[in-house]
Structure 1
Amino acid sequence: MYVAVKGGERAIDSAHAWLAEERRGAPDVPELSIAQIREQQGLAINRVMAEGSLFDPDLAALAIKQARGDLIEAIFLIRAYRTTLPRFGASRPVDTAAMACDRRISATFKDVPGGQVLGPTFDYTHRLLDFALAAEEGTPGDAADEAQGADRNADPPRKPHVLGFLDRDGLIEPASREPDLAHSAPADLTREPLELPASRALRLQALARADEGFLLGLAYSTQRGYARNHAFVGELRIGTVAVEMDIPELGFAIEIGEITMTECETVNQFTGSKSEPPQFTRGYGLVFGQTERKAIAMALVDRALRWEELGEDFVGAPAQDAEFVLSHADNIQATGFLEHIKLPHYVDFQSELELVRKLRRDAETGAEGAK
C-alpha cells in the first residue's frame, strides 16, 4: 500500500477523514437520511440489490450513502457484507404468474388476459428537466394514493404469462429444454466460482448480477446485427412475489416475505432445424426490484448465448461468446482488476524501466556497429 509514501499511515487516516467530509458535503445542507435514499432513490436501490445479490432496501440505501452515490462501490459493499451472513436454507422458486403486478406490458399482443398495466415508468414522459422538482413543494395527494390503492385491489390474483398462449398452440419452444432441476439443483454462483462451459441456469445467475451497462451494450449489439437476434418483448412484468421456504419441522412451506422483481420474456425468430419445426424461441430475464432495462438486456443476451443449443451458426458476435460475456460481466471483478493498477507497482515498473533502457542501449550499440 501507500504506507511508505509521504505521511505514511497518518496520510491514509487523513484521506479517510477527507472522504468523510466530502461525503457529508456542505454542513449547511441537511444530511440525507437512509430513509430518504430508500424511498426516493428506488431505482438506484434496485440496481444495488440486484447486482449485489442481496434483497435489503435499507442496506442498499446505507451502501449508496457510504459510497457517495457510486453504485458500483455500493454494490461492492453489499457483496462484501453478504459474505458475512449465515445461510439457513433455500427458498422455493418464486411463482411469477402469481405476481401482484405494478406494471405489466406486452409488445406482441394488444389484448391479453389481465390487461396491460402501464405502471410507474418514464416511457411516456417528455425527457425535459422538471424544474418544479427543484422547488421541493408538496407531496403526492391523497387522491393519487387512493387511485393507486384502487388499482392494486382491482388486480386479479393471477396474470397468466403471455407466452403461454403461444406455447398452447405449439408456436414457441417449451419453457425449458434442460433436464428437470428438481432433482439436481444448479450450482450457486454466490458460493461457488464460475466454471465453463456453464449451464443456462448458471448463465442466468451470472447475467442477473452482471453490470447493467455492460449488459446493455451487449444487448444493443445483438439488435444491431451482432448475433442476428431480432426480438419482441413478449411480456415485461414488475411486481411483488411471495417467497416461501420449506420448514422441515412443520412438514410444509410457509411464506417468509415478499420481494419486488422484474421479469422479461422475449420472443425471437427461429427458422427451425432438421429435428425442430419453425417456431419462436425465448430469451429470459429475472432481476430484483424495478430494473426493466436490465431484465430486457438480460433476456436478449440470454437468447444470444443459446445459439449452440438451438443449432444456430456462431457468427463471432461478442454476445454469443459465453466465456467473453460471463468472464467480463461482473462489475466487482472488473473494478477490482482495473483499480488495482493505481496501487503501488514500484518494483514491477522499475524492472520494466530497466528492460527498456537495456533495449535502447543494445539498439544504440547495434546502430554504431553498423556504421
Structure 2
Amino acid sequence: MYVAVKGGERAIDNAHAWLAEERRGDSAVAELSVPQIREQLALAVNRVMAEGSLYDPDLAALAIKQSRGDLIEAIFLIRAYRTTLPRLGASLPVETEQMSCDRRVSATFKDAPGGQILGPTFDYTHRLLDFKLAADGEVPQAAQTTGREEQTPHIMSFLDREDLIQVEGEGADVPDDLTRAPMELPASRALRLQALTRGDEGFILGMAYSTQRGHARNHAFVAELRIGAVPVEMDIPELGFAIEIGEVTLTECETVNQFKGSKTEPPQFTRGYGLVFGMTERKAISMALVDRALRWAELGEDNVGAPAQDEEFVLYHCDNIQATGFLEHIKLPHYVDFQSELELIRKLRREATALQQVAE
C-alpha cells in the first residue's frame, strides 16, 4: 500500500509539471502577461468575474492564464480564492441611474431620453475574420468622446408614469446571500437573481432561448440595455455617512413583457431583470428572460411545464462549478463500485444461462 501511494504521488507531481509545460506552450513564443489578458480578453475576464462572484480584473486574468483559457476552471479558481477573503462589510445598493454609460440601447423607444449609445459592440460587424489582427496590424482609433457624468434615467420610469408597468415590491432589507448560505427552495427573487448571475452563461442562454421558442409563453422586448461604470458606496460607522470606495463596470438589462392581468392585477407590462459584472450583455439579456419566466407563480400565470419555469431545475443546474464537480468526479477511481457491478452482471448472466438450459 505504501508503494502504491508513493507511486501515485509521483504520477500526480509529474502530471502537474506536464500541465505547467503545456500551459506555457512553445517557449519560442512570447508568454502572455496578466495585463495583456486583462486588457485584450476583457470579455472572458468579465465572465470569470461574474460567475466567480468576485470583481477583480487582475485576479480573473491570472485565473484565465493559470487555467490555459478554460473559463470554468478559471471561475473555480476565483471562487476558491474568494472563500479566503475576509468580509469587511456590505456596500449600499448601487444606483444604476448614476451609471456613466459606454453603451445604452432600447428596443422599445427610438428617441429614448438621454439618447441611444451604441458603444463598443459586435452587433454591426460582418463576422468576417480580420487577418490584420493575425499580422498585428494597427487598429483604427475610436473618436474621442467626453465623459458622460450626467444621470441617465431608466426607460421603465416612463412606463411607470402612465401606470403601465407592474410596481415592484421593496423586498427584504437584507436579501439572502447565496455566497454564504446554501440554496433553499422556494427561493426569493433576490436569491434567484443571484443564482442566475453566477450561473453558466451557456446554460442561462439556452433557458432564455427556450422561452423565446414558446416554452414559457414569454415574449419580451428589451426596454433597456446599459453598460457602464457605477460608483460603489459604503456606510462608515465612525463617520456616520457613506463614502465612495470605488466603481465597478456593470451590464444591466430590463425587459418588458406583456401581462394579460389576473383576478387581482389589471392588464399591464411586467419586467425581467438582469445585472452582471463587466460588459456581459448576452448574459444579462438571458438572465432577464429567465427571471421573467420564473415569476409565473407570483403573477398568477399558468405553469405550462416549460423548463425555464421550473425553479428547482433552473437554479440547481445553472451553476457550472457544481455541475463540473459532479460530472468530473466520475473519471476518478471507482474500482470497488465497478467490481461489485461486474460481479452482479456475471451472476445474472450465469442465472439466465442456467434457466435457459433448464427450459431446453
Sort the TM-score into its range (normalised by shorter chain): over 0.9
1:232 to 196, 209, 221: 221
Aligned twin of 2:163: 170
Query: 1:6, CA displacement in angstroms?
Result: 10
Cα distance change on mapping 1:4 and 1:213 into 2, 3 Å: farther
Post-superposition shift, 1:181?
A: 2.3
Match of 1:61 in 2: 61
Residue by residue, what CA displacement relative to the aligned partner does 1:286-315 show, whole Å, maximum 9, x if unpaired?
Answer: 000000000000000000000011000000
Contact 1:91–1:244 under 8 Å retained in 2: yes
What is the one-letter code of the residue matched to 1:360? R
1:319 Cα shift?
0.2
User: What residue in structure 1 maps to residue 172 of structure 2?
Assistant: 181
Alignment of 1:28-67 (within 5 A): 28-67=28-67
1:165-209 per-residue CA deviation (whole Å, 9 max, x = no partner) reads: 0111011101x23x5423xx1111001000001010100000011
Q: Is 1:216 the equivalent of 2:205? A: yes
Unaligned runs of 5+ in 1: none
Amino acid at match of 1:107: A
Alignment of 1:138-287 (within 5 A): 138=138, 141=141, 144=142, 147-148=143-144, 150=145, 152-153=146-147, 155-174=148-167, 176-177=168-169, 179-182=170-173, 185-287=174-276
Equivalent position of 2:114 in the other structure: 114
Identity of aligned residues (%): 78
Give the structure-1-normalised TM-score: 0.94
Structure 2 residue runs of 5 or longer lacking an equivalent are: none
* Per-residue deviation, 1:361: 1.1
Letter in 1 for 2:338: F
CA–CA distance in structure 2, aligned partners of residues 7 and 40 of structure 1: 42
Aligned length: 358
* 1:268–1:283 CA contact under 8 A, matched in 2: yes
Q: Deviations over 1:257-312 (max 9, x none)?
A: 00000000000011111211110110000000000000000000000000011000
Amino acid at match of 2:195: A
Distance 1:5 1:222 in 2: 51
Q: Are residues 1:347 and 2:333 paired?
A: no
**Inter-partner Cα distance in structure 2 for 1:98 and 1:294:** 22
Distance 2:244 2:6 in 1: 57
How far the C-alpha of 1:7 sits from its partner, in A, is 4.1
Matched residue type, 1:288: F
TM-score of the pair, normalised by structure 2: 0.97
Q: In 2, Cα distance between the equivalents of 1:5 and 1:194?
A: 37
Q: CA deviation at 1:336?
A: 0.2
